[in-house]
Every structure is written in C-alpha cells, then in structure tokens.
Amino acid sequence: MGNITVSDNVVSEIAYRAMCSFYGVEPEDRDFKKYKKNISIERTPEDNIIINIKIEVPYGENLVNFSQNLMKVIAENVTQMTEKVVEAVNLVITSITEPKNEEGTDSSNS
C-alpha cells in the first residue's frame, strides 16, 4: 500500500466546518467566512496536529467554557476525519461580539 497525506488546507477546512457547526452558522455564510483566514495549522515532528485559531466570543458567554467546548469540537472532528492526533487547539479571543437572538439578528437591533 501507499501513503495517505492530509494537507494542512484540508485540516483547516475541517476545523472551519466544526467552528461553523459550533456557532450554528452555515459554512457558506459570508460574514463567517472571514474566520477561515484566522486558522493556521502546525505539524509536530511526530506528525501530530496543532491548530491555532483567532475567534470572537458572544458577549455574556463564559470565555473559558465557551473556548473549551469549541476546542473539544474542533479536536474531535479533526481526529475523527483524519485519524491524526490533535496535540493542541490554541484559541486567541480577539473580540467580544453582540449575541444573536433566535431570529439570527443582533440583539441590539431589537
């Protein structure tokens, strides 16, 4: 048999789609697509994966719980799809956003 190599672009796309699912948005959402450029992938000498992501968190969320839950979702998705070890998911919270209401609009517009 031969080798199977999963590119960093594919790992990044899996992480992005896991984020979309976590945030409850479609991957094609134009406003959310900006996060794709905020994802970077590193490989360890053992070929394990380290994922670095800059994120925004909705106001009112517990930053630690929100981040830990997102990290878990991303790591599980990448591991499930690639069978690679995710050594770390590193998040940098760059800003706080207005929470969305049930209709998907900013609560400040109510």
Distance of CA 94 to CAs 53, 65, 103, 105, 106, Å? 10, 16, 25, 21, 19
pLDDT value of position 11: 98
What's the CATH code of the domain at 73?
Answer: 3.30.300
- Check residue 107 and give its pLDDT: 45
- Give the integer Cα–Cα distance in Å for 24 and 99: 12
pTM for the whole thing? Answer: 0.85
Number of other CB atoms surrounding residue 21 within 10 Å: 14
Residues of the chain under the 50 pLDDT cut: 103-110
In a domain, residue 54? The reply is yes
3 occurs within a structural domain:
no
Q: Which domain holds residue 76?
A: 8-99
Residue 70 lies in a domain: yes
Amino acid 83: pLDDT: 95
Does some domain include residue 104? no
What local confidence, expressed as pLDDT, does residue 109 receive? 44
Instruction: Tell me whether residue 107 is in a domain.
Output: no
- Structurally, how many domains does the chain consist of? 1
| pLDDT for the residue numbered 104 | 47
